[in-house]
Amino acid sequence: MMDALTSIATPINEPVLSYAPGSPERDTLQARLRSMVGDHPLDLPMVINGADVRTGETYDVRSPHRHRRILARAHKTTHTEVTLAINAALRAKRDWASTPWTARAAIFMRAAELLTTKYRATINAATMLGQSKTAYQAEIDAACELADFWRFNVHFASKLYTEQPISSPGVWNVLDHRPLDGFVFAITPFNFTAIAANLPTAPALMGNTVLWKPAETQSLSAHFLMEILREAGLPPGVINLVYGDGPTVGAVALTHADLGGVHFTGSTAVFNQIWSTVGQRIGEYKSYPRIVGETGGKDFIVAHTSADLDALAVAIVRGGFEFQGQKCSATSRVYVPESRWASLRERLAAHCAKITVGDVEDFSHFMSAVIDERAFRKHAAYIEHGKTDTNYELIAGGTYTMDEGYFVAPTIFTSRDPKAKLMREEIFGPVVTVHTYPESQWSETLALVDQTSPYALTGAIMANDRVAIEQASRALRFSAGNFYVNDKPSGAVVGQQPFGGSRASGTNDKAGSPLNLVRWVSPRTIKETFSPPTGDFAYPFMRSP
């Protein structure tokens, strides 16, 4: 306990280490990769009320780039453990909600320190081995973005708590930023270790207790995240981790009367199911569950005739193929003026010829495997569609193999039809489709960009002409929640580009910003009157003249 109005300085984004040959971080990471592979298969228990829970029934966690290698075996939940985890969260709630917010904040600030020092190589190695991220992609996600989430959220919470109403003379008004009623259900995707950690911890920072269900394919890094949080001093029951399939956990958690909120990131289809389950039972909860979901995207780059083609080519390749195109913000459809296409095509073909796809443990590769066989087959089907439908022309890639790992070559098609399947649907893999347009149809093209897909997550305009930038910014105002000028549409940084989209891309509650934290509080207004009225109850206007 302490009597102090503390201030939290604006954090600095965690510096991204280079992992260049000869750097100390490279040696440490390579050693950790070797030891983690040597340890396998690790046993991954669930964590309920602070205790390890094993059901004995497990699923295998494999390296997507070497799918025969079993890294870990995760204990699978049944309905029983989900109920135990919810009960633990509800029990822990009373103490956690009344813990001073500074004490809660200290846990996450300490977790950020542990993450960026003692655990940096561990969390990066787990993300590389389990999710097939390259060293650089793991570093910007699992170490840097996550440290930023934890540090910036504490800073934003401190600002939120200072938001107070005015008070008139003799009265003191206070806003008590309480957590929600009940428990929060955090459901997380495979593609970002940072998102997997942020979804349960942002509500927990605000005093909520949580049931956390990570994607099966992210279980290895989830295990180490829980280890960091426990070491940072997170009390038992505040975050309860269960492994297993979504529908099994969802069947219990989404229908529980104490469901206070859902913090989801994943596909639009799953989010729609979650929302409709909650909607169908809306009269049966003790409160109205807050539903926050960040979902799919069909992210665009629209190039004006004044665009710098070198910058455009790099934006397409990095935006489209980093982490195998498995970022919700990945460049997926590109609009290029017809007259610039021949030169751009040459540049793209030259870049793609240099990209190697392989094992992340060999640091020379730009790309590695896609997450699992289901994703691989889905990408292969899109590529076959592109190769067989005469609407498309294959520009680069178009090959795939799953002999060793789930490898899909960086693939580029052109599409004559601007509304064809590959221009419209989220593929979530390394496939980029380009439509070329006549320069005279610039404003019609902007309208096409806006209307082609149901999503509105990220997008970019590449142009040197300022008037064109303004036209695009205006025409595409509602087409993307994160809009970029002369940059790729991925790579948002916490505190700098709050992330999220609208339409079919989610509720746009901007993870890693004060707007997200607001969703995890249910404020109580307290009015205290220092001299309450006494004597006559009647008001002066009632007196006779």
Point out the residues that are catalytic.
294, 328
The candidate with the shortest Cα–Cα distance to 462, out of 246, 257, 314, 254, is 314
What's the DSSP call for residue 343?
H
In angstroms, the first-to-last Cα distance of the chain is: 57
Name which of 196 and 204 has its Cβ closer to ligand NAD: 196
Report in angstroms how near the CB of residue 254 gets to ligand NAD at its nearest: 7
428 sits near ligand NAD (criterion: CB under 6 A): yes
Name which of 200 and 237 has its Cβ closer to ligand NAD: 200
265 sits near ligand NAD (criterion: CB under 6 A): yes
Please report, for residues 292, 400, 408, 431, the alpha-carbon distance to residue 356 in angstroms, rounded to integers and kept in the order given.
Answer: 37, 13, 11, 15
Task: Tell me which amino acid residue 210 is.
Answer: V
267 sits near ligand NAD (criterion: CB under 6 A): yes
User: What is the distance between the alpha carbons of residues 449 and 456, in angstroms, rounded to a whole number?
Assistant: 10
Binding residues for ligand NAD restricted to 303-332, rule: CB under 6 A: 328
Binding residues for ligand NAD restricted to 239-258, rule: CB under 6 A: 245-247, 249-250
140 sits near ligand NAD (criterion: CB under 6 A): no
Name which of 233 and 247 has its Cβ closer to ligand NAD: 247
502 sits near ligand NAD (criterion: CB under 6 A): no
For residue 193, count other CB atoms closer than 10 A to its CB: 29
Q: For residue 277, give every residue at least 6 positions away whose Cβ sits within 8 Å of its Cβ, in sequence order, or none.
A: 250, 254, 255
The candidate with the shortest Cα–Cα distance to 502, out of 528, 487, 481, 482, is 481
272 sits near ligand NAD (criterion: CB under 6 A): no
Please report, for residues 120, 132, 280, the alpha-carbon distance to residue 28 in angstroms, rounded to integers and kept in the order given.
Answer: 9, 18, 51
The candidate with the shortest Cα–Cα distance to 191, out of 73, 300, 328, 363, is 328
Among 46, 270, 396, 449, binds ligand NAD (CB under 6 A): 270
Report in angstroms how near the CB of residue 241 gets to ligand NAD at its nearest: 12
Alpha-helix residue ranges (DSSP H) falling in 393-498: 421-424, 442-451, 466-475
Q: Is 506 helix (H, G, I), strand (E, B) or coil?
A: strand
Report in angstroms how near the CB of residue 19 gets to ligand NAD at its nearest: 24
295 sits near ligand NAD (criterion: CB under 6 A): yes
Q: Which stretch binds ligand NAD (CB under 6 A): 12-20, 23-31, 290-298, 461-469?
A: 290-298
187 sits near ligand NAD (criterion: CB under 6 A): yes
Name which of 124 and 191 has its Cβ closer to ligand NAD: 191
Report in angstroms how near the CB of residue 321 gets to ligand NAD at its nearest: 16
The candidate with the shortest Cα–Cα distance to 457, out of 508, 491, 419, 497, is 508
Report in angstroms how near the CB of residue 98 gets to ligand NAD at its nearest: 30
Name which of 295 and 414 has its Cβ closer to ligand NAD: 295
Please report, for residues 324, 336, 441, the alpha-carbon distance to residue 415 in angstroms, rounded to integers and kept in the order given.
Answer: 21, 11, 17
213 sits near ligand NAD (criterion: CB under 6 A): yes
The candidate with the shortest Cα–Cα distance to 85, out of 42, 51, 55, is 51
430 sits near ligand NAD (criterion: CB under 6 A): no
28 sits near ligand NAD (criterion: CB under 6 A): no
Tell me which residues touch ligand NAD (CB under 6 A): 187-192, 195, 213-215, 245-247, 249-250, 265-267, 270, 273-274, 294-297, 328, 426, 428, 457, 499-500, 505-506
